[in-house]
Chains A and B, each alone.
Chain A
């Protein structure tokens, strides 16, 4: 490196006018970015703001149409990942790039072998990894197939992979999405110690709280443009949110006290075993009363999805009983999803692409999915296309779905508007019980606000709402009571007034803190 007077030399990485189009989509518009050596640099932006594209360009996964990338002050043409790795760039992708049936050791060695034979590479990698994992507290079992490890450990392997390749610049794409709060905290410690050793860290996220907690500098992206560069110490969550969305956003959900009445949804001793023999729901008991929101927290994959599937009739009850509005559903009285809808249960599925919508359908067709048998949509022989379109157009206006075009293909709406379409469909049927899964996954901040308000409105209208979400903040701000699931079981229950990240985080790892135990005892007495 040259003299310190040279400003560029202190920059680990600098982007000048990076521009990228995918057909008609202008994903990155002439982006400039400077990342100082030895800092943690956050990049925030809504879904589709172009953060991931930008990072993929730095990592050589895509090539920019225009612009230069400077690494340590040198213009570097990164045409594939190999060059990025050789230039000291490592990346931890949002969806881990691991071979699931291989061990940590094999995953680390892959692509960084020392010769044609594996033995020597493996031995060398084992030594280096043992040293690295001690140095940065990144301990992982080296000889267990990755698929048997938790996501937290898998992420460590990804970081080790980058370090093993000599990464001086580490890019993390949405690193905390699947972690418990404790795992997140540990990750931030690791990043801090990496920074101490001189590694530059770039962290992409949409979680403002984490930006505030972990970074030195922040850059904000909006619709493919870089709109601001600020020092973390000189900004606030509110300011960042405003920069991201381009207008003022209310981060806190305003809601009054809940006024719960009789239980509308009662689940007792519900168990469900997957076809491969894994017990996904293990003796679940819960109830949701009219006029309250019950939140289900937990790291994804601990039975929440199966619970929603069983309650909505997609999966059949195997053991135990579900009581909805007085109707009993059990093994000898199974109900199909349409029968469940008929007893006034609405279901906003977790994955709108897989279950909520048919992407190739027009909006008005997607809008009647599941309700297509209703008399108002059907004539004697044919369905009433005009009525359907008219109805959809009305609801789109009411729910502010943009663009307001009932004939547009579902796939061409943004994530937030697709979700609004699903929510409008389910809520417009005026269900008594509403099952909500990940209502704001992949939805931009502006739309999150309105979706949250709609859910509160349902509660205030005396509906029973069951909310499943992996976003703790969402659960804490919406729910009146919070249940935590782990390994198919309900670990415990906390009133929203008491819940905080620490408590929920411990419960998500199957540890019930004493204060919660005391509360539960009190409730029983």
Chain B
């Protein structure tokens, strides 16, 4: 029973940790499947986390935070599109520029507006009548059956009691799959990333497809950022995205640019993170394992797995290449 309970707790934490990764990986999928290398996910997450927290605090509404976060992320995505699609810029360089811009801008604006060293004020502050954090959703009867063995653990602990965005993230996976593989938009999107000239000669605008995909990418990355600041931490902290954009990108590559694969990869990262969190202070044969070593574990595993444990992952053929009509 003890083991079961810790399993439930680990899985519960997995969902929480994996949610922003899932949003970001799906965001990356929309962009990379149309051929735009998206190393800028990190910056989009960070910018939307800041905008979300700031707007939620000012308006005292998590929903306004959500709206603002997503909008800012979309604007960042358009900047990326403007650089890479309209001006055929290098995807990685412009992506890094966006990341640096987001890191600097959020800290500077945060400090300028709120004067708390770059942080935004806490979104839950009863003394000032501030309550702008998303609240977890409790399923019906979750409290009543919490003590029933097994079922209670699964229903009340694992399934119930998450933020709305967690459920949206899980739902987004099949929705994105459907969009990508069962709709006209998805077919065109996949085609643009493979062979833009073929799409162009079929009478479809490559530029239009790429802008549209990056817009969707912006929305999804925005949700990841808002989840971090408005739901989990209830506050923006400088650099709070902490590499999640890159992790999501890795998950996307693991998952072979496929929603199902990406979901599994995100959950795997989530599990590793959850285990690492729970194992702090654990010891191995009298040695106490340093916390830092355990925290580094997911990243080390990422490197090892990426280095060749997952079989061949074939990227979209036209990825990273600007589309220029060539002469003859």
Contacts and interface: CB of A to CB of B under 8 A. Distances in A.
A110 B328 contact: no
Interface in A50-89: 52-53, 59, 61-62, 80-82, 84-85
Interface string B291-328: 00000000000000000000000000100000001011
A106 B184 CA distance: 10
B59 to A, nearest CB: 35
Nearest to B186: A118
Q: What interface size band does chain B fall in?
A: 20 to 34
A181 B255 CA distance: 44
A106 B317 contact: no
A97 interface: yes
Given A102-B190, A102-B191, A119-B182, A110 B202 contact: yes
Nearest to B200: A81
Contacts of B199: 110-111
Contact of B328 (A48, A109, A111): A48
A22 B195 CA distance: 24
B151 interface: no
B195 A98 contact: yes
B183 A110 contact: no
Contacts of A118: 182-184, 186-187
B188 interface: yes
B90 interface: no
A112 B198 contact: no
B260 to A, nearest CB: 17
A102 B202 CA distance: 15
- For B190, B203, B325, the residue with the greatest tally of chain A CB atoms inside 10 Å of its CB is B203
Contacts of A100: 194-195, 317
Interface string B194-209: 1101111111100000
B185 interface: yes
Given A22-B327, A119-B182, A99 B201 contact: no
A70 to B, nearest CB: 21
Q: What interface size band does chain A fall in?
A: 20 to 34
A483 B127 CA distance: 90
A119 to B, nearest CB: 7
Interface in B171-193: 182-188, 190-191
Contacts of A116: 183-185
Contacts of A27: 327-328
A117 interface: yes
Contacts of A99: 190-191, 194-195, 198
A101 interface: yes
A113 interface: yes
Contacts of A85: 202-203
A52 B326 CA distance: 12
B174 to A, nearest CB: 16
A325 interface: no
A98 B198 contact: yes
Interface in A88-147: 91, 93, 97-102, 106-107, 109-113, 115-119, 121
Nearest to B185: A116
- For A53, A61, A110, the residue with the greatest tally of chain B CB atoms inside 10 Å of its CB is A110
Nearest to B201: A97
A112 B186 CA distance: 14
B184 A121 contact: yes
Nearest to A93: B201
Contacts of B200: 61, 81
A101 B194 contact: yes
B194 A102 contact: yes
Contacts of B204: 82, 110-111
A117 B178 CA distance: 10
A109 B185 CA distance: 12
Given A99-B194, A100-B194, A101-B194, A81 B185 contact: no
Contacts of B186: 118
B202 A112 contact: yes
Given A22-B327, A53-B328, A62-B325, A111 B197 contact: no
A93 to B, nearest CB: 7
Nearest to A101: B194
Contacts of B201: 59, 61, 81, 91, 93, 97
Contacts of B325: 61-62
Nearest to A94: B328
B282 to A, nearest CB: 43
A117 B194 contact: no
Given A81-B203, A116-B184, A97 B327 contact: no
A54 to B, nearest CB: 11
Contact of A97 (B182, B187, B195): B195
Given A48-B328, A99-B190, A110-B188, A80 B203 contact: yes
B183 A117 contact: yes
Contacts of B183: 116-118
B300 to A, nearest CB: 28
Contacts of B328: 27, 48, 52-53
Nearest to B184: A113
B151 to A, nearest CB: 39
A117 B317 contact: no
A113 B187 contact: yes
Nearest to B178: A117
A203 B183 CA distance: 35
B147 to A, nearest CB: 47
Contacts of A110: 187-188, 191, 198-199, 202, 204
A121 B185 CA distance: 13
A117 B197 contact: no
Interface in A357-389: none
A109 B187 contact: yes
Contacts of A80: 203
A399 B182 CA distance: 60
Contacts of B184: 113, 115-118, 121
Contacts of A102: 190-191, 194
Nearest to A276: B312
A110 B194 CA distance: 13
A274 B213 CA distance: 37
- For B195, B197, B201, the residue with the greatest tally of chain A CB atoms inside 10 Å of its CB is B201
Interface string A8-47: 0000000000000010000100000000000000000000
A239 B287 CA distance: 91
B238 to A, nearest CB: 42
Contacts of B203: 80-82, 84-85, 111
Nearest to A52: B328
Contacts of A98: 195, 198
B266 to A, nearest CB: 24
B22 to A, nearest CB: 25
Interface string B58-83: 00000000000000000000000000
Given A97-B195, A101-B194, A111-B203, A117 B188 contact: no
A106 B187 contact: yes
A106 B191 CA distance: 10
Contacts of A117: 182-184
- For A59, A84, A101, A112, the residue with the greatest tally of chain B CB atoms inside 10 Å of its CB is A101
The 8 tightest CB contacts between A and B, nearest first, are A111-B202, A82-B203, A97-B198, A113-B184, A81-B203, A99-B194, A97-B201, A99-B191
Given A52-B328, A110-B187, 17 more contacts: A48-B328, A53-B328, A85-B202, A97-B202, A98-B198, A99-B190, A99-B191, A102-B191, A110-B191, A110-B199, A111-B202, A111-B204, A117-B183, A118-B186, A118-B187, A119-B182, A121-B184
6 contacts: A61-B325, A80-B203, A111-B199, A111-B204, A113-B187, A118-B187
